Structure 1
Amino acid sequence: MAELTIENLDKHFGAIRAVDDINLTVADGEFVTLLGPSGCGKSTTLGAIAGLEQPTGGRITVGKTVYFDGARGIFLAPEARNCGLVFQSYALWPHMTVHDNVVFPLTLRQVSRSERKRRVEEALALVEMERFQARYPHELSGGQQQRVALARTLVYRPEILLLDEPLSNLDAKLRDRARTWLAELRTRLGLTTIYVTHDQVEALALSDRIVVMNGGRIAQIGTPQEIYQKPADGFVADFIGTTNFLAGEVAEAPGAGGETTVTLPGGQRIAIATERRPVKGDKVTLAFRPEQMRVVPEGPAEPGGSVIRARVTSHAYVGGRWQIGLDLGGSPLRIETSEATSAAELSLWLPVAGGILFPGQTHAKSL
């Protein structure tokens, strides 16, 4: 295991900056996820670490080994980097048994026969696939193939593990089980790991830290709780989980208690506690998670929050919960509730603490 350091990493394809000045340190034994939409640069960054992509500039080191240094003209070949890479497609040899797939990296490294036998048994036991050594890939489920691919990577004991969307080819239920299994495995291994995904649930469930990427750059780095509860901007708030955005204008600047009063479309007002210091008249966007908004009876606002009225546009039963779509002056909202409703309008309680205020109104129509 070793610490990974990425400094000022760039990768250009002509005029396109696929990776733009990435700086990241991953501690020894840390599990870090690169998360973002397609085209954000996460897989290109992973490829640069593995040596499958030659960066335009910057520096990558693992421990004391320099993988890449643009200024010094250093580019270590992929086979010279002690990285373990699990592809999205698993890339198992179809004509080889499970045993032969897993032993293959050790054969290439000319490991002794007795040591190969011991390591293969150890790796297959780690992924709970000992009973399937004689089977071929086509005789395995998708989840089993994923485990074999991981065993084949772990068998030669890499310094750093790179996982490129390894669960994306599994169906929803199998992906959920595989995620639980992978979380247990990472705890046992304690291996420095970079995980690439566009699935926010995977990122939140597995990671020590999440690196949210957008347009080739890092939008935010933080723990799952920090990323979810305190997104740095509207993009992160919109990409991680479900967020309701409300366009508004500052009616009263923060007072002694730090609360800002915002006027929403149609003249309704809410109060929100924010670290930002907007001034009266500023155009802003408020962000609330659906779980922060509660349906309440008409009447005075409960302490610690404000009440707004919104028009019901849709409702759908999703198993034990109802998803309600609403409209507030052109801003779409979505909430979940245990109670069905036939009302044309609903009163919603929004907490003073918990919502986030962003400057401008560029994110108000992102849903």
Structure 2
Amino acid sequence: MAELVIENLTKRFGEVLAVDSVSLHVAEGEFVTLLGPSGCGKSTTLAAIAGLDRPDGGRIRIGGTVCFDDRSGTFLPPEARNCGLVFQSYALWPHMTVFDNVVFPLTLRKVPAAERRRRVEEVLALVEMEAYADRYPHQLSGGQQQRVALARTLVYRPAILLLDEPLSNLDAKLRDRARAWLAELRTRLGLTTIYVTHDQIEALSLSDRIVVMNRGRVAQVGPPQEVYERPADPFVADFIGTTNFLPGRVVETADARALVALGDGQRVAVRTARPPAPGARVTLAYRPEQIRIAEAGEMPAGAGSVVAARVASRAYVGGRWQLGLDLGGSPLRLETAAPPAGDRLRLWLPADGAILFQGSTDVSLV
């Protein structure tokens, strides 16, 4: 185990600034996920840590070893960094058995034969693949190949584990099972891990902390619950989970409260630590689980506002209905146990549930 320190990391590809002054400290034994859409810089950052790409600027330190420093000209090759890297494609040797694939890194390191066998058997048992030692990759399922690739990395006991979207080639059900297995293995190993994914469920369920990246920069760093419940900006709110955005204008403020007029004139009360001045344009963000359908004449308990919305679409998704709504020209997404009877309904928006962002937000651009 080792800590990882990244300082002002920069990487260009021609005119494209793929990684823009990224800094990050990962403690020993911490599981940190780099999360973001394609092209955000997460895989480029991982490649720089592994030594597969040479950055243009910054500094990378793994434990007590400086792996890259643009000021001193230091650049250690991948084999000198003691990083374990699991690729998205697994990259298993097709002509080698499971045992031979896993033992290969130890053979390169000239580990004695008896020790090689002991460590391979140990790590295959760890990933529950000891019964498949004599099989070839084409005789394994995708999930089994993924476990072999992980075993091959763990067998030489790396200081830090780098996982580049290791579950992306699996089907949905197998991916769910692999995620649960990986979460259990992560708890048992306690190995410093950097995990790259664009899958928010993986990030939320596996991570100690999530690093959300956007256009080469770090948008937010924090524990999963914090990133989900208190996103730093509209991009994070939109990328993590499902978020409904309602643009409006502040018409009244008092203490830690703001009254916001939506596009159709309906008003919504929200609590916020720093209410903008009256007249300011704002965007309210609500998670679907925060919104309730209010029956006719009902005034739900708790501080909030009741507004009218139009039902634009319905979709049955197995035990639940997904509703597409229109509220003053803004689209909303909501799930309910039963579909509404008509095309109009009343919604309760909690005063404490909204996240208020200043300015108008065009989420189609994020």
- TM-score band by shorter chain is over 0.9
Q: Which residue of 2 aligns with 1:11?
A: 11
User: Could you tell me how far apart the structure 2 residues matched to 1:346 and 1:23 are?
Assistant: 47
Q: Name the aligned partner's letter for residue 303 of structure 2.
A: G
Q: Which residue of 2 aligns with 1:318?
A: 317
User: Could you tell me how far apart the structure 1 residues matched to 2:363 and 2:187 are?
Assistant: 40
Q: Name the aligned partner's letter for residue 307 of structure 2.
A: I
Post-superposition shift, 1:300?
5.8
Q: Which residue of 2 aligns with 1:148?
A: 148
Does residue 263 (structure 1) correspond to residue 251 (structure 2)? The answer is no
Alignment of 1:16-165 (within 5 A): 16-165=16-165
Q: Name the aligned partner's letter for residue 295 of structure 2.
A: P
Post-superposition shift, 1:298?
2.7
Say whether the 8 Å CA contact 1:246–1:364 is kept in structure 2.
no
Post-superposition shift, 1:277?
2.6
Q: Which residue of 1 aligns with 2:182?
A: 182
Describe the shift of the 1:366–1:75 C-alpha distance in structure 2 as closer, same or farther (beyond 3 A): closer
Q: What CA deviation, in whole Å up to 9, does each residue of 1:282-302 have, x standing for no partner?
A: 111000000000111133643
Q: Secondary structure at the match of 1:213?
A: strand
Q: Over aligned residues, Cα RMSD in angstroms? A: 1.1
Say whether the 8 Å CA contact 2:235–2:363 is kept in structure 1.
no
Q: Which residue of 1 aligns with 2:349?
A: 350
Say whether the 8 Å CA contact 1:262–1:269 is kept in structure 2.
yes
User: Could you tell me how far apart the structure 2 residues matched to 1:365 and 1:245 are?
Assistant: 11
User: Could you tell me how far apart the structure 1 residues matched to 2:274 and 2:342 are?
Assistant: 36
Q: Which residue of 2 aligns with 1:213?
A: 213
User: Could you tell me how far apart the structure 1 residues matched to 2:363 and 2:156 are?
Assistant: 50
User: Could you tell me how far apart the structure 2 residues matched to 1:308 and 1:120 are?
Assistant: 62
Alignment of 1:280-319 (within 5 A): 280-299=278-297, 301-302=299-300, 303-319=302-318
Post-superposition shift, 1:194?
0.1
Q: Secondary structure at the match of 2:270?
A: strand
Q: Which residue of 1 aligns with 2:332?
A: 333
Post-superposition shift, 1:360?
0.9
Q: Name the aligned partner's letter for residue 363 of structure 1.
A: D
Gaps of 5+ in 1: none
Q: Name the aligned partner's letter for residue 142 of structure 2.
A: G
Q: Name the aligned partner's letter for residue 155 of structure 1.
A: V
Q: Which runs of 4+ in 1 moved over 2 A?
A: 298-303, 363-367
User: Could you tell me how far apart the structure 1 residues matched to 2:316 and 2:264 are?
Assistant: 29
Describe the shift of the 1:348–1:71 C-alpha distance in structure 2 as closer, same or farther (beyond 3 A): same
User: Could you tell me how far apart the structure 2 residues matched to 1:333 and 1:341 are?
Assistant: 15
User: Could you tell me how far apart the structure 2 residues matched to 1:129 and 1:310 are?
Assistant: 54
Normalising by structure 1, report the TM-score.
0.98
User: Could you tell me how far apart the structure 1 residues matched to 2:62 and 2:107 are?
Assistant: 25
Describe the shift of the 1:207–1:157 C-alpha distance in structure 2 as closer, same or farther (beyond 3 A): same
Post-superposition shift, 1:18?
0.2
Q: What CA deviation, in whole Å up to 9, does each residue of 1:307-355 have, x standing for no partner?
A: 1111100011111111010011221000001012231111111111021
User: Could you tell me how far apart the structure 2 residues matched to 1:153 and 1:328 are?
Assistant: 51
Q: Which residue of 2 aligns with 1:199?
A: 199
Q: What CA deviation, in whole Å up to 9, does each residue of 1:47-101 have, x standing for no partner?
A: 0000001000000001110110001000001111100000000000000000000
User: Could you tell me how far apart the structure 2 residues matched to 1:304 and 1:53 are?
Assistant: 53
Q: Secondary structure at the match of 1:125?
A: helix
Post-superposition shift, 1:266?
1.0
Q: Name the aligned partner's letter for residue 305 of structure 1.
A: G
Say whether the 8 Å CA contact 1:90–1:145 is kept in structure 2.
yes
Gaps of 5+ in 2: none
Describe the shift of the 1:300–1:265 C-alpha distance in structure 2 as closer, same or farther (beyond 3 A): farther
Post-superposition shift, 1:14?
1.9
Q: Name the aligned partner's letter for residue 122 of structure 1.
A: E
User: Could you tell me how far apart the structure 2 residues matched to 1:104 and 1:78 are?
Assistant: 16
Post-superposition shift, 1:364?
5.6
User: Could you tell me how far apart the structure 2 residues matched to 1:107 and 1:300 are?
Assistant: 72
Identical-residue share of aligned pairs (%): 71
User: Could you tell me how far apart the structure 1 residues matched to 2:364 and 2:278 are?
Assistant: 23
User: Could you tell me how far apart the structure 2 residues matched to 1:333 and 1:115 are?
Assistant: 60
Q: Secondary structure at the match of 1:5?
A: strand
Q: Which residue of 1 aligns with 2:235?
A: 235
Say whether the 8 Å CA contact 2:11–2:55 is kept in structure 1.
yes
